[in-house]
Structure 1
């Protein structure tokens, strides 16, 4: 019998808590992620031993690396499974907690990082604005906010409708499409004789949409980059939309 996850407001709480999410995305480029963190922290010129909130940190790969660069890092995520995994890496300057990004965390930081398209999951647009406002509230007087999002203009133009990917003996069948302002990814696979079906959906938030959020949240946009080497953003060719603000 197929296990189907409904497209509800909390689809991400279900999918991100499964081991299959981490199997499918196990081959992410760690070297690229580490270079991005080096470029970003150098650009921001964060204070020595500065504090960073990694918002929607997943299993903590960015947070762990940032901590190795001598930053005091807090990683938070809604996924209890991801945080349970990340907690094994905790130390005096690295902590992980379950937290909803729509709410202010109980501390302020020199920087708040929201990385690798960990935004735009919410069905209601007001929740995206709540998350933006929470980031601002989590910044100290000198702090910087960073959102690393996909460039939706590029993604929609280059959308791959169908893909098959085999990882750890599991064949993931992936279908992508744009519907109701969201980029959908349907993921189907069979494991141990059981069929599974999950949906990822991320709001197709453009640069102008973010600018509108920032205006409503009284946030100043400082810079925009188009890739992890912090090259200039180009609407039609950049794969990423990296926003620096305060």
Structure 2
């Protein structure tokens, strides 16, 4: 996993806002908490976090196991998805083809998994990493987040005196650890 703190080490604590868009949270699975900790470390006291993810509740109700797309330039994409309810994960295989006349020539296969979050799970996740939940929306028009919203736009804030992720965890650790 890319360590954002390493790339931006000279900017720790200097960002007033951190934005995580287009369901980029969820690809790291168990690492999502670490990613949020890295974002915490980059944020200034009082900094704002905005997260945009697919809404698990909507996806469960509108799940599409197979899909087919034709893109410009003759690229054809066939997607096979499996929804794993036990851990709220989508496992997908993307097959990429190049159209040559009536024929399709296979170019690549990409497999991925994505952890989906319901609003309450996302709130718990951000609060475990020190962020304070402020509000959520169901889209970028700022409509309320409901089970009929296909997105969750969550807004959180870093308290004015937060310390680093490591400092917070040391304070929370039992004596002698």
TMscore range, shorter length = 0.7 to 0.9
Distance change (3 Å), C-alpha of 1:233 and 1:218: same
Aligned partner of 1:243 among 140, 149, 154: 154
Secondary structure in 2 matching 1:242: strand
The equivalent residue for 2:26 is 120
Q: Does 1:105 align with 2:8?
A: yes
Distance change (3 Å), C-alpha of 1:176 and 1:194: closer
> Aligned partners of 1:102 and 1:117: how far apart in 2?
20
Q: What are the residue-to-residue correspondences of 1:27-46 with 2, within 5 Å?
A: none
The equivalent residue for 1:174 is 79
Distance change (3 Å), C-alpha of 1:198 and 1:241: same
RMSD (Å) for aligned C-alpha atoms: 2.1
Secondary structure in 2 matching 1:231: coil
1:160/1:176 contact within 8 Å kept? yes
Q: What are the residue-to-residue correspondences of 1:151-170 with 2, within 5 Å?
A: 151-167=55-71, 168-170=73-75
- Structure 1: state its 5+ residue gaps: 1-9, 11-98
Structure richer in strand, relative to its length: 2
Aligned partner of 1:135 among 15, 35, 39: 39
Q: Does 1:189 align with 2:93?
A: no
Per the TM alignment, residue 132 of structure 1 is displaced from its structure 2 partner at its CA by 1.0
> Aligned partners of 2:5 and 2:56: how far apart in 1?
22
TM score, norm. by length of structure 2: 0.74
Q: Which runs of 4+ in 1 moved over 6 A?
A: none
Secondary structure in 1 matching 2:40: helix
2:16/2:46 contact within 8 Å kept? yes
| 1:165-216 CA distance string (max 9 Å, x none) | 1112122111122125311222113338444211232102222222222232
Q: Does 1:198 align with 2:110?
A: yes
Secondary structure in 1 matching 2:126: helix
Q: Does 1:144 align with 2:48?
A: yes
Aligned partner of 2:121 among 194, 204, 209: 209
Secondary structure in 2 matching 1:212: helix
| 1:18-76 CA distance string (max 9 Å, x none) | xxxxxxxxxxxxxxxxxxxxxxxxxxxxxxxxxxxxxxxxxxxxxxxxxxxxxxxxxxx
> Aligned partners of 2:62 and 2:5: how far apart in 1?
30
> Aligned partners of 1:245 and 1:103: how far apart in 2?
23
Structure with higher Rg: it is 2
